[in-house]
C-alpha cells in the first residue's frame, strides 16, 4: 500500500522518524491571552512539535437550537453559546499567538470552525490547518480549507468508515492531507481508545495517519506510535482539574513532557520496518553461531562424511548451514580434532 508523503514546515513525516506531536491548547487558555502564551512556552519546553488553537465565533458556530454535549454539562456548563463565548479569542489575537509559536520555535496550527473565518486564518502564518472531527462531513468548510494550499490534518472522531472514505474522496486531489483516528469522548477510557482504527483509516485513505488522543494516560501516544501513528495530538493544560470542557482530557506540562519522551522512545525502538542485521548484533552473531568442527583428527585428502563433523561455536568457520554442501568434499590440509573447518581447508 502506497502512502502519500506529508510535510509540515521542513519536516517530512516517515515511518521510523520521530512523531510529529501537536500540543492541543484549544480552549484550555480559558479565554486568557496570557495563559495561551504561557501554554505555548510550556509546549515548547515539553518537546512538542507544534501548538494548536481553535478559531471560532460562538454566534457563527451555534444556532439558537444548539445543545451541550453530555461531558460539557457534566463540567457545569448551562448554555452552549455562553460556554464558547467565554473561551473564544479573536482572530487577531490568535494570529499573534501563531507569531508567538514561531518565536519560540514550534509550528503553529489552527482549527477553523466557520466559513467566514477561513479568509482571516489564511492571512495568518499558520503552518497547517486542522479539521475538527465533526467537520469531516462539512463539505463546504472542508473544501475551503483544502484550497488554502497548506497541510491539512483531518480528525475522524465519531465517524463511520464510509464517512472517512467520503472525506478522503473529497480531498483526493489535495496533496498534503493526513487523517487522525480519534474517539470523541472526553476523557476516553482505555476500552474505547481504538488506536487500531488507524490501520483501516490508512487502508481507506492511503494517507499518513495519526492519533488524536483524549485519554488520560501518558503512554497512549507511545502505543499509538508503535501502532503506526506519524502524528499525535494531545491536549495540554495548566491544571487537569480546572473548570472547562477539555481540561479533564488533558495533560499538565510535566505529564506532557513525559508523554513526548515516551512517544519519541517508541519511535526509536520501532525504527525501520525492515528486518536488518544491526552492527550491535555482529559480535554476538560471530561468537554464538555454530560452525563445522572436526569430530576427530582429519587427514589431507580425506573425503568428509557425517561422522567426521559436528557443529560447535563460534560461527567463524564454515557455517552449520553448509553441512550438506560440505559432505563429500575433500580436505586440502589436515584438521585437528575439535577445530573449526574453513573454506581454505577444502580442495
CA-based torsion, 250, 239, 134, 111: positive or negative: negative
In the predicted structure, residue 100 carries a pLDDT above the cut 70 = yes
pLDDT at position 76, please?
Answer: 74
- The full set of domain ranges for the chain reads 10-270, 287-345
**Which pLDDT tens digit goes with each residue over 242-252?**
998 999 999 99
Q: Which three cell numbers stand for residue 88?
A: 473564544
User: What is 287-345's CATH number?
Assistant: 3.90.1210.10
How many Cα atoms are found within 13 Å in the side-chain-facing hemisphere of 77? 21
Q: How confident is the model at residue 75 (pLDDT cuts 50, 70, 90)?
A: confident
Quick count: other Cβ atoms within 10 Å of Cβ 162? Answer: 9
User: Could you write out the DSSP letters of every residue in 118-183?
Assistant: HHHHHTS--SEEEE-GGGGG-HHHHHHHHTT-S-EEEE-TT--HHHHHHHHHHTTT-SSEEEEEE-
Contact 22, 52 (CB under 8 A): yes
Per-residue pLDDT tens over the stretch 262-307: 999 999 999 888 899 999 999 999 999 999 999 999 999 999 999 9
Closest CA to 254 of 268, 270, 265, 238: 238
pLDDT band at 10 (very low <50, low <70, confident <90, very high): confident
pTM across the whole model: 0.91
**Chain mean pLDDT for the chain:** 95
- CATH topology assigned to domain 10-270: TIM Barrel (3.20.20)
pLDDT at 131 over 80: yes
Cell of 188: 476516553
Identify whether the C-beta of residue 131 lies closer than 8 Å to the C-beta of residue 233. Answer: no
pLDDT of residue 16: 64
Checking if the pLDDT of 107 tops 60, the result is: yes
The reported pLDDT for the residue numbered 309 is 98
Beta carbons of 23 and 236 less than 8 angstroms apart: yes
Q: Give 209's strand partners.
A: 179
Q: Does the pLDDT of residue 15 top 70, yes or no? A: no
Q: What is the pLDDT of residues 18-53, one digit of tens each?
A: 999 999 999 999 999 999 999 999 999 999 999 999
What's the average model confidence in pLDDT over 120-147?
Answer: 98
Nearest alpha carbon to residue 242 among 35, 34, 67, 23? 35
Residue range 314-340: average pLDDT? 98
Residues 319, 322, 327, 328, CA torsion sign: negative
List, as own/partner pairs, every contact residues 117-124 make where C-beta atoms lie below 8 angstroms and the sequence separation is at least 24, other chains included. Answer: 117/55, 117/56, 117/57, 117/60, 117/91, 118/144, 118/145, 118/148, 120/55, 120/91, 120/95, 121/55, 121/91, 121/148, 122/148, 123/95, 124/91, 124/94, 124/95, 124/98
Rounded to 5 degrees, what are φ and ψ at 33?
Answer: -65, -40
Amino acid at each position: 500500500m502506497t502512502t502519500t508523503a506529508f510535510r509540515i514546515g521542513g519536516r517530512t513525516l516517515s515511518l521510523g522518524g520521530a512523531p510529529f506531536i501537536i500540543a492541543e491548547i484549544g480552549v484550555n487558555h480559558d479565554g486568557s491571552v496570557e495563559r495561551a502564551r504561557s501554554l505555548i512556552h510550556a509546549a515548547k519546553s515539553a518537546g512538542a512539535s507544534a501548538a494548536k488553537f481553535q478559531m471560532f465565533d460562538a454566534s457563527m458556530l451555534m444556532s439558537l437550537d444548539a445543545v451541550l454535549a453530555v461531558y460539557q454539562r457534566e463540567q457545569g456548563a448551562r448554555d452552549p453559546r455562553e460556554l464558547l463565548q467565554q473561551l473564544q479569542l479573536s482572530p487577531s489575537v490568535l494570529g499573534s499567538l501563531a507569531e508567538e509559536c514561531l518565536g519560540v520555535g514550534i509550528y503553529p496550527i489552527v482549527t477553523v470552525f466557520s466559513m467566514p473565518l477561513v479568509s482571516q486564518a489564511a492571512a495568518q502564518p499558520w503552518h497547517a490547518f486542522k479539521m475538527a472531527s465533526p467537520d469531516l462531513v462539512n463539505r463546504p468548510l472542508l473544501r475551503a480549507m483544502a484550497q488554502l494550499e497548506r497541510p491539512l490534518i483531518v480528525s475522524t472522531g465519531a465517524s463511520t468508515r464510509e464517512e472517512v472514505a467520503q472525506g478522503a474522496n473529497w480531498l483526493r486531489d489535495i496533496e498534503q492531507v493526513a487523517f487522525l483516528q480519534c474517539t470523541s469522548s472526553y476523557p476516553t477510557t482505555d476500552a474505547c481508545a481504538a488506536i487500531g482504527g488507524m490501520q483501516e483509516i490508512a487502508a481507506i485513505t492511503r494517507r499518513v495517519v495519526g492519533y488524536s488522543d483524549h485519554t488520560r494516560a501518558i503512554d497512549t501516544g507511545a502505543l499509538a506510535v508503535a501502532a503506526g501513528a506519524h502524528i499525535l495530538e494531545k491536549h495540554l493544560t495548566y491544571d487537569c482539574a480546572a473548570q472547562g470542557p477539555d481540561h479533564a482530557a488533558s495533560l499538565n506540562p510535566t505529564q506532557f513532557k513525559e508523554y513526548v519522551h515516551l512517544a519519541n522512545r517508541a519511535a526509536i525502538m520501532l525504527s525501520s520496518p525492515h528486518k536488518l542485521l544491526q552492527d550491535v548484533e555482529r559480535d554476538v552473531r560471530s561468537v554464538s553461531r555454530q560452525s563445522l568442527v572436526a569430530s576427530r583428527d582429519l587427514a589431507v585428502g580425506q573425503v568428509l562424511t557425517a561422522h567426521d563433523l559436528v557443529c560447535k561455536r563460534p560461527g567463524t568457520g564454515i557455517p552449520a548451514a553448509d553441512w550438506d554442501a560440505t559432505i563429500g568434499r575433500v580436505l586440502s590440509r589436515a584438521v585437528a580434532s575439535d577445530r573449526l573447518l574453513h573454506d581454505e581447508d577444502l580442495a
